[in-house]
Structure 1
Amino acid sequence: MERTLDMASVDEIREKQQRVRELMDNEGLDALALSTTANFAWFTCGGGNYVGIATEIGVATAVITRDAKYIVCDNIEAPRIADEEVVDQGFEFKTSFWYEEKKDEIIREIAGGGALGSDTPMAQAKNVAAAVDACRHSLTSDEIERYKHLGQDTGECLALACREAKPGMTEHEIASELSRNILARGITPVVTLIAADDRISKYRHPIPTDNKVDRCVMLVSCARKWGLIVSATRLVHFGPLSPELRVKHEAVARVDAAFIAGTKPGANVGDIFNRAVDTYA
């Protein structure tokens, strides 16, 4: 069977286990608990441990020891996570009834009295959230392929919504078109911003309103899949651009181009940022 982007490769699983166990060595840990949606998705190569999308901590925790790895959750969540999120990744499930609320207790039992680390506050555990973040900074080759695919899909969804936008539509109506396109591709829109006309320059984060489009509208999406998020913006203008708006658009494009041109393997992030700042001048 041909491997899809939803399937974790042996190389990616091995690479992430190695990074985590190196972290455990550096922090003197015997077990590590990963409960945030971002870290769970990273370690499981794109798996989801959330039910509601507006949460940072999921309903399941990945626990890694020196020689094994576990998923700790309640009996309600276990079947779906096993069947759809961590297939063939070698996890052993440790569950309890949903009403017992024993997840932290089970995690400490897995640690067996040894040093326990966690990416969230937990009794008798060392918070190593910053160290876990550092593990995620360098993308694997599989993650790069997923990012490319997600970026293309997000761009296409924005383009479709832009073509649907018309003068007289409300920002809420345009937001619904954008979200419909994104959700239809199995992507979660974690942020959707829409601004018409003067709201574009007035607010940095314009939550959609009943404001109607006259001449111009901005669409923004932060789209999540496999634990990765692509942020993209598109602008639509009805009728000829004013000279002032054209100058502003070209200036922004130059700054964006400076960021893109400077982003190369081995480049220092600070240098890339400073190069873009210089472009503003």
Structure 2
Amino acid sequence: MNEPAASSPARSAEVKARLDSLRAALERHGARSAFLIARRNFAWLTAGGSNHVVLESETGEAGVFVSADEAVVLAPNIEARRLVDEELAGTGLDVVAVDWWRPQGIIGEASRRGRAGLVSDEDLEPDLEILRSRLSGFDAERLAILGGEATRAMDVALAMVGSMTTEVELCAALLAALDDIRAPVLLAAADDRIARYRHPLPGDNPIRSRVMLVLVGERWGLHVAVTRFRDLEPRSPDLEARFAAVTRVQEILHEATRASATLGEVFAAGQAAYADVGYPDEWQLHHQGGTIAYRGRERVAKPDDPTVIEPGMAFAWNPSITGAKVEDTFILGEEDARRVVTRG
């Protein structure tokens, strides 16, 4: 794993800037302090720290308490040492260990420090979603590293597919190739399951002619999304036409993703593209994606979504036409430059 941006001064500066943004949000809400324990917000505020033990949890084991003059991590004494050694180096944040057996634990300690003016992740979520979605240069470089490594792992796993390889064997190969990249979403479908299911959980189904592999990969709290196919037999003319059509829809979605546009406007461009390529109702069968950062989708675009697009946001649009799908992750830069991070 090569991460040139991970020096302590760079990470410390990121954390300081994020604390300033959080304190500004507190002031807007008239709140005195916040305790952020959701995994997505802990990772964002600490510039990549992880606070979880249970993989599928939304909430971590430790949280960051922030007031006008204080910013500390509150953690059960079980977790405190590991957080100091492995998760928070270079952040400038101190860790306060709270005995695991204490009534109300770290929540109680946060309440004691914040008193009546304490707010939670949920209270600040509208503000935090916007802050998480605006990637700094530090985050953008990390996302590019993550996207490149995740895509290479997908290529390695798909290259080993042979006749009668099963979906779960393919997924096991991908997990091994991902190394320390986590996979909160990992889907695979062989043959007729591709057309039947938009979210196919992998099973013992043998791959005979083709397979679809879908990944949301996560490291440093950041996410990338990518879908790839492997064909063991030539595609039919109808399937080739479907892939050409859905690729055109993806191109339109990418082109419509511009600063100052809204997600609703991009969604409308996608709807029109589906009609133009001859599949007007296919958008109804699966969501089309949206913004991506410290969640697999920070916001899934829907009709008339008023969310305003800004430079620095990342996107993963995933149009599909039954039997065919395309999905990549890109960062929108200045002058609407698009940096696709999941292509070799």
* TM-score (structure 2 length as normaliser): 0.75
Q: Is the 8 A contact 2:3 2:142 kept in 1?
A: no
SS for the counterpart of 1:139 is: coil
Aligned to 1:20: 22
- Report the Cα distance in structure 1 between the residues aligned to 2:16 and 2:212, rounded to whole angstroms: 42
Aligned to 2:309: none
- How do 1:149-160 and structure 2 match up within 5 A? 149-160=145-156
1:217 matches 2:219? no
- Aligned counterpart for 2:197 among listed residues 190, 203, 221: 203
Q: 1:3 to 1:233 in 2, by over 3 A?
A: closer
Deviation at 1:109, TM superposition (A): 1.9
Q: How many residues align?
A: 271
- Report the Cα distance in structure 1 between the residues aligned to 2:13 and 2:272, rounded to whole angstroms: 41
Aligned to 1:166: 162
SS for the counterpart of 2:78 is: coil
- Aligned counterpart for 1:192 among listed residues 169, 175, 186: 186
1:119 matches 2:121? yes
- Report the Cα distance in structure 2 between the residues aligned to 1:128 and 1:267, rounded to whole angstroms: 24
Deviation at 1:114, TM superposition (A): 4.2
Give 5+ residue unaligned stretches, structure 1.
121-126
Q: Is the 8 A contact 1:69 1:90 kept in 2?
A: no
Q: 1:22 to 1:271 in 2, by over 3 A?
A: same
- Report the Cα distance in structure 1 between the residues aligned to 2:96 and 2:199, rounded to whole angstroms: 42
Letter in 1 for 2:132: R
Aligned to 2:231: 237
Aligned to 1:179: 175
Aligned to 1:110: 113
* TM-score (structure 1 length as normaliser): 0.91
- Report the Cα distance in structure 1 between the residues aligned to 2:152 and 2:76, rounded to whole angstroms: 38
Q: Is the 8 A contact 1:161 1:181 kept in 2?
A: yes
Aligned to 1:123: none
Give 5+ residue unaligned stretches, structure 2.
276-344
Letter in 1 for 2:190: A
- Report the Cα distance in structure 2 between the residues aligned to 1:213 and 1:265, rounded to whole angstroms: 42
Report the more deviating stretch, 14-23 or 213-222.
Answer: 14-23
Letter in 2 for 1:187: I
Q: Is the 8 A contact 2:158 2:230 kept in 1?
A: yes
- Report the Cα distance in structure 1 between the residues aligned to 2:195 and 2:242, rounded to whole angstroms: 11
Letter in 2 for 1:180: A
SS for the counterpart of 1:76 is: helix
Letter in 2 for 1:105: G
- Report the Cα distance in structure 1 between the residues aligned to 2:260 and 2:151, rounded to whole angstroms: 27
Identity of aligned residues (%): 30
Letter in 2 for 1:268: T
1:4 matches 2:7? no
